[in-house]
Structure 1
Amino acid sequence: MKTMKWFMSLLFVAGLALFLSSCALDVSAQDDTYVTLDINPSVELIVNRREVVVYANPLNEDGEVLLAEIDVIGLDLDEAIDLIIQTAIELGYIDIDAEETIVSVTAVANDPELGDKIRDRVKEHVNEAFMNRGMKGRGEDKGFTPEFLAEAESYGVTPGFLRLAQSAVIVSDGLLLEDALLLTVDELQAILKTAREEMHDVAQALRDEFLAARQALYDEYFPQIETLKVDLALAEDNLVTLNESLTAKIAELEAATEGTEAIQAEIDLLEADILALETNIQSLIDQIQVLREALLAEVEVIRDQFHEQSAAIREQIGQLVQTRRNQHHQDVEDFMNQMQQRRDQMHDEIEEFQNRRP
């Protein structure tokens, strides 16, 4: 018997097909790469084959502060990374007095070779940004926790893909993780881009509260959908059986030389049962669709509520950005004034440190 996960996946994928066609996605979007940078702050980017950033989003509260007053969308990848590193320094997220700084990088693309290429390019740009500032910093492949690695392995996907799927689940109402893992990289990226365009984002400080409220609605609606789905699967199985019986009776009628009226009567009964069952199946499908639409409508209400609260929080974030800038301004200014001298003095040491990356 089909499971609810399969059924919800079918519903979502059907909706996604309509969504993708309505968006008229460019074929080149299949060449986009999903990238994450963890300093902390943590941010996610989508980069096209021309190495231009087409999407940027925070992955935690510090990432939200980092991206609050900079816009990397439309920048070349090297410019975007340099701006992210510089802003992280100005806001005190990268300690200018630290012995060393590590930026963890992941990259996922439909084409694994392209993903590997972009990941290497990101690390190169990170290294260049630190070298230009005379700092011992480097980009490394992200190391995931054993628990996260085990979870990815249990789903049969890479850790980077699991992280992408999780991001899509957060911004897309009605999309379960099991559904997201059935999608392609470019489909998941399309979900992220559209969520940003439609301003579906919720402030990081409210995210856990929002997800809990949304999960409560899932817990209310999904069992009802599961019950209907079980009835639907049983009805579909019965329909197959009735159609097989009808086919056999029609063959029997065609071969019969006597008793045809009785056989025809049985055929008439089977056809009536099939018609009634088909009507019932359509009714079950309609009920499931009504429940799904009601679920999405209720989730949209709470998302709008959290979005309004997020606007107020983002005003506070703007003030926090200025506070952090003021707090670190003099130290950063002195640091930048000595950048050329420090770079000349530490070039070989930094290069050796960057070449030792795992």
Structure 2
Amino acid sequence: MKKFSLLLGMGMLMLSAGLFGCTIGSSDAYAADAYVVLDINPSVEIFTDEDGLVSQVNALNDDAEALLVDTDYVGKTVEETVEAIVTLATELGYIDFDAENAIIVTAVGANDADTEKLENKIRDRIKAYTDKQQIHMDIIQARTQASAEMAAKAEELGVSIGKLKLMTMAMQFDETLTLEAGAGMAVRELNGIVSGHRQEMKDFVTEGLKGEYFAFRQEARQVYSVSRIGFINDAMILAEDSVFAPVIGESATTAAEIRALYQEYLDAVNAIVIPEQAEIDALQAEVLAELNADETFNGLLAQRVVRISEMVALRIQLAAAHNHETQAEGLRTQLQTKWQEVKTLTEQIRAYKAQYVTDFETEHPSYRFTITFEGEAFGVQVQFDWMNEFRLVREEYAIKFADISIDLEALEELFEEQIASQLSELRNQYAADLGALKAEFKGECDAMREEFRNAKEETRNMWGK
């Protein structure tokens, strides 16, 4: 994307100069500016820098938060990091010596050749570890698991399955990004969009708190986007006709036509109808009622609560039996069995939850749904997706401007310098508000990290590690 996309980081300074270097001569050049996801459940995301070394590792669910707590892989190679994560997952029981295991690997390099080499290196490193440990592991490349629809879309756009997934992820953070534009972007640029926002949300350590962050960010993006268009429109009204010459070129379009169409664009953005809170609350209550009426879903939650209670009782017994090794070993075995049952139930619940979210968002495309569960109780967050509505309006007007031979982004770039100070004020306000939000949840986040540490230590003890 052009300057507009980079500005939408809202002052996060997400794109360091290192993201745009080169890696000539590096033995890890194939891994430069790469994106990798390991899906074992936990699911972990890895970014690399221009030298092919790990620059960021992110947890994509709560199990991964517990897995990664107090770890640091920055500066390591992708293969070292992958093996360390798989080793940790094995030590904590997510990979079972006595069962069939699977790991889905998504890898995206700077080009097709680098992607293939990266996939092969990751596969070989995992296989070497699992063979040595005598673990049966099915290593699945994500592109082989893609739906027919996704495969067709990737082929249409001329990109790999992995890059299409990365583009889709980046679109969650940049409302100006389209699939067509993303297809033309370098992987490092897409990585910059995603990794910058992942860094920003690191302090929100649970799925529920991440929902709070996304709600906050959506509101801020709405304010920023509307304000920016308004600033540009004001600047256009005051500008001399000659200012438009670089985008008009040889076309017959006039400055007056451009001003009129841009005013129409601003009016269309302002006309996006935001539902009343009562309407959103009613939809949320409807979703919650449907979840509460689902006997299968509630049955899975109830079973999980029972198994966790049984684990708590076994842990108390294990702590009391520390001087009786035979008894302690028997309790560990029981704990391991219960833990695997909880893990299986959690996976079933997550799959059920994901299907519900997909169904809800298909039925209500203007909304985004988040389902959480604590014990046997569901929580539901319903949010109007203003940014998606904005994207649709922007795409419509990009076409309208193209019809009069004007590139919308190039037009807006003419006024970026003029409105820079106003945008800077918005970004500064965003940063201050984000800091306040982090401070508000700091106690809860710190407590959750401590819970993750304790759970990690208890799980290590359970497996005798």
Structures share a fold, TM > 0.5?
A: yes
Which residue of the partner structure matches residue 366 of structure 2?
none
Unaligned 5+ residue runs, structure 1? Answer: 1-7, 246-280, 337-358
Q: Which amino acid aligns with 1:66?
A: L
Q: Which amino acid aligns with 1:326?
A: E
Which residue of the partner structure matches residue 430 of structure 2?
299
Q: Distance in 1 between matches of 2:413 and 2:87?
A: 58
Which residue of the partner structure matches residue 317 of structure 1?
449
**Superposed displacement of residue 195, structure 1:** 6.1
**Superposed displacement of residue 160, structure 1:** 1.7
Q: Distance in 2 between matches of 1:116 and 1:183?
A: 19
Offset from partner CA, 1:183-228 (integer Å, 9 cap, x none): 31123334566667x7663424322221122112323342344456
Q: Distance in 2 between matches of 1:157 and 1:242?
A: 34
Work out which structure has the larger RCO, using CA pairs closer than 8 Å and 6 or more positions apart in sequence: 1
Provide the TM-score with structure 1 as the length reference.
0.62
Offset from partner CA, 1:313-348 (integer Å, 9 cap, x none): 254234323324324534x33xx8xxxxxxxxxxxx
Match of 1:27 among 22, 29, 42: 22
Q: Distance in 1 between matches of 2:120 and 2:149?
A: 25
Which residue of the partner structure matches residue 189 of structure 2?
187
Q: Distance in 1 between matches of 2:419 and 2:139?
A: 48
Aligned-pair identity in percent equals 24
Aligned residue runs from structure 1 range 21-60, under 5 A: 22-23=17-18, 25-28=20-23, 31-47=32-48, 52-60=53-61
What's the RMSD between the two structures over aligned residues?
4.4
The aligned length equals: 287
Q: Which amino acid aligns with 2:134?
A: G
**Superposed displacement of residue 291, structure 1:** 5.0
Match of 1:209 among 205, 208, 212: 212
1:224 to 1:151, Cα distance in 2 relative to 1, 3 A: farther
1:48 to 1:9, Cα distance in 2 relative to 1, 3 A: closer
Q: Distance in 1 between matches of 2:454 and 2:48?
A: 29
Q: Distance in 1 between matches of 2:416 and 2:65?
A: 41
Q: Distance in 2 between matches of 1:85 and 1:103?
A: 9
**Superposed displacement of residue 107, structure 1:** 1.2
Matched, 1:219 2:222: yes
Q: Distance in 1 between matches of 2:413 and 2:73?
A: 49
Q: Distance in 2 between matches of 1:20 and 1:81?
A: 24
Q: Which amino acid aligns with 1:215?
A: Q
Aligned residue runs from structure 1 range 1-358, under 5 A: 9-12=2-5, 22-23=17-18, 25-28=20-23, 31-47=32-48, 52-97=53-98, 99-142=99-142, 143-145=145-147, 157-168=159-170, 176-178=176-178, 183-190=185-192, 201-203=202-204, 204-205=206-207, 206-226=209-229, 232=236, 236=244, 240=248, 288-290=419-421, 292-308=423-439, 309=441, 312-327=444-459, 329-330=461-462, 332-333=463-464
Task: Work out whether residues 38 and 106 of structure 2, in 8 Å CA contact, stay in contact via their aligned partners in 1.
Answer: yes
Q: Which amino acid aligns with 1:213?
A: F
1:157 to 1:315, Cα distance in 2 relative to 1, 3 A: farther
Provide the TM-score with structure 2 as the length reference.
0.50
Task: Work out whether residues 20 and 188 of structure 2, in 8 Å CA contact, stay in contact via their aligned partners in 1.
Answer: no
